[in-house]
Every structure is written in structure tokens, then in C-alpha cells.
Amino acid sequence: MMNGNFGNRLKEAMDRRQMKQVDILRAADQAGIKLGKSHISQYVNGKTMPREQILKFLAEVLDADEEWLKGEAEAPREAEEGGKDSMEQRDEGGRTMRKFGKSTKLDHVLYDVRGPVVDEAARMEQAGTQVLKLNIGNPAPFGFRTPDEVIYDMQSQLTECEGYSYAKGLFSARKAIMQYAQNKNIPNVTIEDIYTGNGVSELINISMSALLNNDDEVLVPSPDYPLWTACVTLSGGKAVHYICDEQAEWYPDAADIRKKISSRTKAIVIINPNNPTGALYPREVLQEIVDIAREHQLIIFSDEIYDRLVMDGGEHISIASLAPDLFCVTFSGLSKSHMIAGYRIGWMVLSGNKEMAEDYIEGLNMLSNMRLCSNVPAQSIVQTALGGYQSVKNYVVPGGRIYEQREYIYKALNDIPGISAVKPKAAFYIFPKIDVKKFRIKDDEKFALDLLKDKKILIVHGKGFNWKEPDHFRVVYLPRLEVLADAAEKLADFLSYYRQ
């Protein structure tokens, strides 16, 4: 049956929502609805009408009225004027007011580390309730102070940091980062391969935006630091999650990675040391990932922001050092090791086979130039921070705060019936497992919310890290021992009665 009216309206609704045919196919895939390329193109061309169920789905995903979409009703409904925007709504005085909705590009973006549970905590705090925050890896509020020398050096250079710097960053900062990369045996790095950013966060965003076309796939760990999945999605790509295996010290599962590679896979992300699990990957595990990346010609993105926070005499190995023939991008910064998360300074280092990525590098340069430069005062202390004595080392050895807090929380959590946790080897996170049968937990966000309401403790539920099952949560063990002891006691009490 020909239905030009339907085709035109479908096109119109897709334009309004800025969705292409591939976006619809992706949404269908995500919703578990069978929809082929040829079907959607026939609908758009008005050659066939979809079945009732598909029509319903299209109306929903395009935020369109079903009858209007069919070509039957006259006018599009209000909300269709621009995605979730509506042009005219009457306020109390009878005046018209335009309403703005968020971009549909954010529809599948998740960042629960600062999500609804955190909003509830903020409401509680505003009402005067003290909340114990074990939810965010921000060292300063827990008494981890920036080394004095870093502050002095920033102060004394402040007047020289008034202007923009070169887009990639100050020479002195990049030279220090280059030497740092050399010490980690990262091959083929020149000063031009180093980009400073307003934290690693900005560079994750830039690196994904410059690479991905709609529907390109990137392998991202599960659990992950959720900014990676969010930036892949925001860039139009698809984050395909590979499992990190709790039974194997939370190492990436090579067999699962292999299973998830398709012709669209462009890159693999690793987070080492890992947030949220605290895992540190040994050479054999990294080598396996390099072998897979080599076989499938993937770019390796390695987030190594915790590389100086390693315990138990472990060695951090940069995966790029094992892959001179591949193109690698290694991320690190000073937020965690130098306790200056608020100054916003991170970097990325391109290495290995840059010929593979000439055009991509052009894209990275464009985006780096477009944001002009990263925070210059923070760049000015990179050389100081990376050179000389590293005070962070005192924190991660026996007697040091991070080490002792890790020892404490690991034992305290494992002592709670129904909770088990793998011992973290690095960073300052632990990702315990909850016995979901015992506590009848079906919804981990509700678990986090109930714990917050009952015990005033804020943690992040596992789904916030793109972990599929409702059986994990993350604890940040930055607070001092006595605070952790109080938190562990309250959690144990909560779990003595909590059932969902």
C-alpha cells in the first residue's frame, strides 16, 4: 500500500528529532524490536505502512502522535515542534511562553555518579541532614592536601598565566609529560603528541567526538567509569560493554571482548588501574588485550589516571608500552595523585603507529584548537608535580592513609553477612557484591536510595557504572578510618533488616 502522507510525516518527525534512519534502527535494537534497514527506508519513501506495533514504536521514539504519523490527523501535536520543546504554553497570566527541552542527543546518556540519588542527598543536606558521602573520588574534602610546593609554584606563576596558552598546552608541562611517558616506556611520543586538558574528562570527550560516526562501536569495560560510555553515546557511537570478571580479580575477560567485536568496532577502552573495582592489570592481561587489538586493528584508549596510586608493591604498566605497532591514546592527570581535582589538569598522549590515525589526529587538533586551551595556571604546575619527590607514595604503603583505609574497608565489608568484595590493588574504590537473594534486591538504585534515607550514607549503585545486574555498589574509601568505621557499622545494621 502506498502512503506518501505517512512517509512525509515520518521524515518530518525524524527531522524534528534530528534522527536518521540508523538512529531509529539503533533505538529499535535497544528496545528489542525487529526492524530492518529495508523496512525503514520503505516507510520513509512511503512505499509501505508499518505494522501496528512498529507504528507505536516509531511514534514513541519520535515523540509524535500516532494518528498524525499515520497521515490521518491534521496538525502535529505541540510537543513535536522541536523534540521535547513546545512552542507555546499559556502561563497563569495567559501569556505565551516557549519551553525548552534537553537535546535528544542526551536520551541514552547516563551519568549516575551525580544522578538522582545524589540529588536526594543534596535535598537532605539542604534540609540540614548530614550525609556521609562515599560516592565521589574527590580527595580534598577528605583531608588529602595538595603538596605545598605545588601551591607555591602556582602562586608564583599566576601572573604569567593570564593569556591563552598554545592549544595543546605549555611547553614546560608537555615536556614533563613527555618525560613521564618515556619513563613508562610509551613508544614514539613527541612533544606534539601531548595534549593537556581540563581534566582527563575533557579529553575523553574530545577523543570520542573526534573519532566516532553514528553507530561506530567502542568496546568499553563493564563496570566502567561512566563518562566513557556517556561520551561514546553522546558522540553518536555505541558503547559495547565487555565484562570484567570478578572471579578473576576483575580483569577484562578476553573471550568476552572477542565475542563483542564487530565490523563496526573502532576501539577498545581500558581503565587501568580501574575505577570502580580498584583492579590493577598485570602484563599478561594487557598483552592479551594488545593481541586482540592487533588482530582487529583497534585503537587502544587507556585511562591511567590512578597509575600512581598502586599498593602492595605492584607495578603499573602502560598498555601503550606493549603496542608500538598500534595507535594508542593514554590518559592521565593530577586530580588523584596530587589531590588537585579542582584545578582541572589532565593530559592525553598519542603513541605508537600514528600513521594509522593521521586523519583522526587532524580531528583531535581541530577540537583541541576549538576549546582554545586548558586551564593555564594548572598547566603551570605539571612540571613541579611530576618531578622530584612524590608525596602520594606515602599514602599507598603500610601506615599510609589510603593503604590503611583500604585494609579496613576491605575487612569491614567482607565481615558483613551477604557482602563480599575483591581486594582493590590500586586507586581508592571498592566494588562489593551484595547477595541479592538474601536481601531480595531487584533494583540497586532503590537500594542506594533506601540506604541514604535510612542511614544518611551516600554510595553509587552498580548500574551507575554500566554494570547490568543489581548486585554491586561502589564505596569510595577516602574518608578517615573512624568515619569508615561508622559507615561500615551503619551499613551492617541496615543490612540486618533491609529486604526489598
Ligand X SMILES: Cc1ncc(COP(=O)(O)O)c(C=O)c1O
Enumerate binding residues for ligand X (CB under 6 A): 137, 199-201, 225, 271, 275, 303, 305, 333, 335, 341, 346
Which CB atom, from 104 or from 198, has the smaller least distance to ligand X? 198
Maximum Cα–Cα distance across the chain: 77
457-458 vs 429-430, strand pairing mode: unpaired
Report in angstroms the alpha-carbon separations of 141 from 114, 132, 137, 488, 499: 17, 12, 10, 20, 33
CA distance 418 to 268: 34
Beta bridge partners, 329, equal: 301, 350
Which CB atom, from 104 or from 302, has the smaller least distance to ligand X? 302
Q: With helix as H, strand as E and coil as C, how does 313-333 read?
A: CCCCCCHHHHCCCCEEEEEEE
Which CB atom, from 206 or from 271, has the smaller least distance to ligand X? 271
State the minimum distance, in angstroms, from the CB of residue 332 to ligand X: 8
Answer whether 189's CB lies under 8 Å from 324's CB. Answer: no
Which CB atom, from 199 or from 424, has the smaller least distance to ligand X? 199
Beta bridge partners, 52, equal: none
Which CB atom, from 334 or from 357, has the smaller least distance to ligand X? 334
CA distance 149 to 143: 17
H-helix or E-strand spanning residue 243: strand 238-245
Which CB atom, from 253 or from 303, has the smaller least distance to ligand X? 303
Answer whether 385's CB lies under 8 Å from 270's CB. Answer: no
State the minimum distance, in angstroms, from the CB of residue 306 to ligand X: 7
State the minimum distance, in angstroms, from the CB of residue 467 to ligand X: 15
Which CB atom, from 335 or from 384, has the smaller least distance to ligand X? 335
State the minimum distance, in angstroms, from the CB of residue 485 to ligand X: 24
Report in angstroms the alpha-carbon separations of 405 from 178, 243, 338, 451, 485: 33, 27, 18, 21, 10
State the minimum distance, in angstroms, from the CB of residue 195 to ligand X: 13
Answer whether 357's CB lies under 8 Å from 213's CB. Answer: no
State the minimum distance, in angstroms, from the CB of residue 204 to ligand X: 7
Which residues fall within 8 angstroms of residue 441, CB to CB, at 6 or more apart?
A: 434, 447, 470, 471, 500
Which residue, 233, 296, 304, is CA-closest to 268? 296
State the minimum distance, in angstroms, from the CB of residue 137 to ligand X: 4
State the minimum distance, in angstroms, from the CB of residue 384 to ligand X: 17
Which CB atom, from 207 or from 321, has the smaller least distance to ligand X? 207
Residue of minimal Cβ distance to ligand X:
199
